[in-house]
């Protein structure tokens, strides 16, 4: 049966593990292969070019609903989170959901001089209080696909003067989200945005940019391409927080992000959540109990051990925190739903 992604993808199994890593589109793989071939032949321009990174930045900015001067290009979520962790004064309180993804939490924890508080995801908004400096959380939880109450957290943070950091790695590409609603967002793009690993994005409000120190600033943070001595003219935009890019990955990212733009996040959202909804309904009909919700990521508590059985049946899924976790995306179809349900019923 035709998928929303059509002939852009060629997985050789029923792939339901996008929460771990997305399937690379054919066009992205071709772009990377071309660059690798040029590098093997001795590319005159070296390993890559700035315009490739700029094009990926522009594409992500459009998908995130912000101006490109608000977007910093990097390669690692934890590196970008660390910039934010470094900006807080000693004793500042940071609020997290319980079980939050490690790369969101650890850069704050290793400081040793911050107050870290953890509460259930459902009570995150109510837990914001006077004195909370930052609320840091994932829009969609990695372990089970639960969607945070974004409007409630945003309102609570605004009411108490707290800044916000949202990890959109499990939602960017299928869940409509305006990054401009948040002080900071961080996104690893190798999941639902279908990029190669080595591409990540940080968005920062103009006000919040003033609080960050560009700790890893190098020649890519300069407006004048300074390559010797200290950079004296850092970019006046979020580009001053850029990491030195992994050019091969960014060459693939340009085409992957273009595909997401062409199809459109609203259409992807409807498609992905429709498949996930059908899967949840099928599980319920068979007496199984997935976590409720309208996420593209479905978790079945206590069934993580079935990952091996599914793999034998040609289905790629994952186990997280004891859950069987399956994620539906452009290369999946209703036939995949039927196939997995049959395997789980066996």
- Is residue 299 situated within a structural domain? yes
Residue 34: beta bridge partners? none
- Same domain? For 143 and 286 the reply is no
Structure tokens at 207: 């006000």
Question: For 181-195, what is the mean pLDDT?
Answer: 98
- Same domain? For 278 and 136 the reply is no
pTM of the full predicted structure?
0.97
| CATH label of the domain that carries residue 307 | 3.90.1150.10
Question: For 234-247, what is the mean pLDDT?
Answer: 94
Percent of the chain scored above 70 by pLDDT? 100
Question: For 86-106, what is the mean pLDDT?
Answer: 98
- Is residue 95 situated within a structural domain? yes
- Same domain? For 236 and 293 the reply is no
> What does DSSP say about strands 132-138 and 93-97: parallel, antiparallel, or unpaired?
parallel
- Is residue 190 situated within a structural domain? yes
Residue 167, pLDDT score: 98
Q: Last residue of some domain: 262, 285, 307?
A: 262
pLDDT tens string 266-304: 999 999 999 999 999 999 999 999 999 999 999 999 999
pLDDT tens string 29-51: 999 999 999 999 999 878 888 89
Q: Last residue of some domain: 237, 262, 287?
A: 262
- What is the 8-class DSSP label of residue 72? E
pLDDT tens string 156-176: 999 999 999 999 999 999 999
Closest CA to 6 of 22, 26, 20: 26
- Same domain? For 132 and 202 the reply is yes
What is the crossing angle of helices 102-109 and 77-86, to 10°?
40
Q: What contacts 344, CB < 8 A, 6 or more positions away?
A: 283, 286, 288, 303, 306, 310
- 173/78 Cα distance (integer angstroms): 20
Number of domains comprising the chain: 2
Q: What contacts 247, CB < 8 A, 6 or more positions away?
A: 35, 47, 48, 49, 52, 53
Q: Last residue of some domain: 235, 262, 289?
A: 262
Tell me the residue length of the chain.
346
Q: Which domain holds residue 204?
A: 29-262
| CATH label of the domain that carries residue 141 | 3.40.640.10
- Same domain? For 190 and 255 the reply is yes
22 and 332 in contact (C-beta within 8 Å)?
Answer: no
């Amino acid at each position: 049966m035709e998928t929303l992604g059509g002939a852009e993808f060629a997985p050789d199994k029923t792939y339901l593990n996008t929460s771990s890593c997305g399937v690379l589109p054919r066009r992205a793989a071709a772009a990377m292969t071309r660059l690798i071939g040029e590098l093997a032949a001795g590319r005159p321009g070296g390993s890559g070019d700035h315009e490739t990174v700029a094009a990926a930045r522009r594409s992500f900015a459009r998908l995130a609903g912000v101006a490109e001067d608000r977007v910093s290009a990097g390669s690692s979520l934890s590196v970008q989170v660390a910039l934010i962790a470094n900006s807080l004064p000693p004793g500042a309180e940071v609020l997290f959901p319980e079980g939050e993804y490690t790369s969101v939490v650890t850069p704050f924890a290793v400081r040793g001089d911050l107050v870290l508080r953890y509460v259930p995801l459902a009570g995150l908004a109510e837990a914001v209080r006077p004195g909370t400096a930052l609320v840091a959380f994932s829009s969609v939880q990695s372990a089970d696909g639960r969607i945070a109450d974004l409007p409630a957290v945003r309102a609570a943070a605004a009411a108490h003067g707290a800044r916000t950091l949202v990890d959109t790695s499990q939602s960017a590409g299928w869940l409509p989200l305006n990054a401009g609603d948040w002080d900071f967002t961080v996104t690893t793009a190798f999941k639902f945005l279908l990029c190669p690993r080595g591409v990540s994005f940080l968005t920062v409000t103009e006000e919040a940019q003033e609080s960050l120190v560009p700790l890893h600033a190098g020649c890519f943070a300069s407006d004048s391409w300074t390559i010797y001595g200290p950079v004296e003219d850092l970019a006046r935009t979020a580009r001053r927080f850029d990491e030195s890019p992994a050019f091969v990955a960014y060459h693939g990212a340009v085409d992957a992000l273009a595909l997401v733009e062409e199809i459109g996040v609203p259409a992807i959202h409807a498609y992905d959540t429709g498949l996930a909804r059908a899967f949840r309904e099928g599980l319920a009909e068979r007496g199984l109990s997935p976590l409720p919700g309208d996420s593209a990521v479905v978790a079945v508590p206590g069934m993580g051990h079935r990952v091996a059985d599914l793999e034998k049946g040609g289905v790629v899924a994952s186990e997280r925190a004891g859950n069987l976790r399956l994620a539906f995306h452009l290369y999946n179809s209703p036939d995949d739903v039927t196939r997995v349900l049959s395997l789980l019923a066996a």
